[in-house]
Each structure stands twice: as C-alpha cells, then as structure tokens.
Amino acid sequence: MSSGTFGRGFKQWFWRPPRPHGEIIVDRSVSFLELFYDLVYVAVIAQAAHHLAEHVSGRGVAEFAVVFTMIWIAWVNGSLYLELHGREDGRTRAVVFVQMGILALLAVFTTDAADGSGTSFALVYATFLAVMTWLWNSVRRQDLQDRPEFTTDAGFYVVGMGASVVAIVASALLPSGPRLLLWAAFGLAWIVGMGLAGHSRRLLTRAMPPTDSLVERFGLFTIIVLGEVIVGIVAGLSRPDRDTKMTVTGMIALVIGFGFWWIYFDLIGRRQPRRDGPALTNWLLSHLPITLSIAAAGAAMISLIGHADEARTPSGTAALLAGAVALGLLAIAVTERALADAERLAAVYRPLGPAMLVGAGAALASGWLRPAPWLLAVLLVAVLSALWFFAVNRFIHAGAWGQEEPTTDIDPSP
C-alpha cells in the first residue's frame, strides 16, 4: 500500500461526516466508546449528590434539582448525537474524548456549582454546549445534502443550542441567586422545548425512532445513578464512629436501591416506547425525574446513616428520602404509559399506574411519620417490594412473565 493510499484511507476514517438524520442503524449495539463516555457522568453526578448530602434542606434540594437537570440535558445531547449520528471512526472518537475532557473539568466545579464555583461551572458547561452546537450544526450541513426534509428542524435545534450557550455564558456574570434562577429557566426551556417538539412534529419519530440501543442507553444512565445509592451507603458507613445500628440501617437502605433496580428493569428497562411523538417524548422526559430521584435517594442515605442512633429521623432527611422514592414511582407510572407493551399487555400495565400512585402516597406517609432511620428504611423497602410483587403477579396471570419482549420493527425511511 502506498503512502498516498494510506493517507487517503486514514483521512476518510478520521474525518467522515456524521450520519444524517434518518440513517438509522436498526440492529446497532451500544459501543464501548459510549460506555466509556457514560462513565464520566459518574464523577459529575457524584459531585452533585455530594453537595445535596451536605445540604439536606429545601434550598439544597432545589440547587441539586437544577444542577442535575443541566447534567441530564448535557448527557441527552451527547448520547443522542452518538445514537443518531455517530460512526465507528476516528472523528467520533475524537469528539467524544473532547467532550469527556470538558465534563471531567465540569465535575471539578459541580460540588459548589450553586455558589462559589458557579462562574467556573457555567463557563465550562457553556464550552460543552458550544462543542455540541458545532456537532449538531455539522449534522444540519449533512442533512442539506442527503436529507433536506430534516434541515428546518435541525436548524431550529442548532439555534436553540446556540441560544443556550449565550444564556449560560451570561449566567457566569450573575451573582449566585440570579444565576441559579437563570439555570432553572434554562432547564425548564429545554424540557418544554423537547415536549413541544415531540407533541407537534411527526419528524421526531423518523429522526429518532425507538431502537434497542436507544432504550439501552437510557437504561445504562439509570444504572449510573443507581451507583450513587451504593456510593451513599459506603460514604455513610465510612464514618470512624460507625456502630452496629448504623451498619444495619445502611444495609437496609441499600435494599431501597435494589428495589428501584427491580421495578425499573422489570417494568421499563429493555422495553421500547411506542412509535409516536408524544409517547416517545414522555418516555424520554420521564427519565429525568426517575434518575434525579434515585440520585437524590443516594444522597439522603448518607444523612440517614449518620442519624441512625436517633429515635426519629430528622425531618429534612425523612422528607428527602421519602420524597425521592415517591417521585421515582410517579415518574415510572408516566413512563409505563408510553411503552409499546402498555398496549400489548394492557391487563398488566393498566393497574400499575394507580398502584404506583398508592405506593408514592405510602412513601410520603412514611416520611411524614419520621420513624427511626432503620424503620423508615424498612417501610420504604416494604413499599417497593409490595409494588414489585403486585407487578409480577399481573405478569404471571397474563402469561407474560419471563418472556422475551418483542422487538419493534423500525422503518427508517421518511
């Protein structure tokens, strides 16, 4: 092979254009590069949860919710770009590693993002958004050649990304209070924008049809936040004054994380949403409160273990942990309604929504009672266990327990 041939081949491999909209790889598997990319979010989310664990209060929860939403928006943008437009080439690897470097730096400023390091957090986050704006604009340019029917929507998306960069840079110039309000408005604008796009434009399901790899990506992010439950337990039990009651409380609280895993992956994980815009949008957006609630529960467990010797759980800790469980159950109820299996297995899924509502109410009641920390953990485990057994009973009676879920056929043509 001549040096010229090698050079042309290497250039083609390293700088191929992104896949245009609609060029869906139906049988695509999540790549090792995507798994590596997700790992950097472990560090970012851990820093955000660390701040909440040290500020178990209404303000601490609000700050955590805003910062976590910004992290989730970053993950959605990066992950969907790889899902829809990434290739097995050098360009994709290079841009992913650039994103990971920016996100690693973002983690440094995440713990105190709501206060002292907010300016640095904003500037680094804006840098990440600027990179994503460039990447999505490269898709728009590719659409101009190959899929012009997507160009208008891609252009709106790029404009929105560019406006986001401007807004976040502007927030860096503000004091901490107004800056957090602008971040909250930014997160709300993204949520509303994605909701409107999914409910008003049919192009969404053609540009982003539900595939096994898309479902797997969201399941993997859920596993990342479930890891924060483990981190919270370990951090709580690493105290030098640890005693038997703390250890017992921590191990019971660990089962709450297990309960989230069983409910999510048996009822939602690996199951595709329906192929219509509203259902797909609801499925996507409902993962924000699901993952936020699990991460918040992990942060609450540090405080729960720290107060294990007290007769009653502190009000802030009880409200945070019970509220996180309740929010997660309510979000799961929304997600279930968007699944294709909610229609195929209507007898199973129809009663699960009301059951989740009852479970959320029971979780909140447990927090309101403020029993001893170990007993609060037991009550929440009981709520999650009862819901799981109820769901399993419905699957068994429908003859659907343990069966492989059917894969929805994807037609990538417009």
Question: Does the pLDDT value for residue 212 go beyond 90?
Answer: no
Separation between Cα atoms, residue 259 and residue 386, nearest integer Å: 10
On average, the pLDDT of the chain sits at: 88
For residue 412, what pLDDT band results from cuts at 50, 70 and 90?
very low
Question: Does the pLDDT value for residue 387 go beyond 90?
Answer: yes
pLDDT at residue number 411? 47
pLDDT at residue number 406? 45
Separation between Cα atoms, residue 29 and residue 62, nearest integer Å: 36
Kindly report the pTM of this predicted structure.
Answer: 0.91
In tens, the pLDDT along 283-312 reads 999 999 999 999 999 999 999 999 999 999
pLDDT at residue number 202? 60
Nearest residue to 293 (alpha-carbon basis) of 243, 211, 356: 356
In tens, the pLDDT along 80-108 reads 888 877 778 788 888 999 999 999 999 99
Separation between Cα atoms, residue 117 and residue 67, nearest integer Å: 12
From residue 119, give the alpha-carbon distance in Å to each of 47, 99, 160, 170: 16, 19, 22, 10
**Which of 137-151, 155-169, 249-263 has the weakest average pLDDT?**
137-151
Amino acid at site 321: L
Give the SS3 label for residue 16. Answer: coil
Expressed in angstroms, the distance from the first to the final Cα of the chain is 41
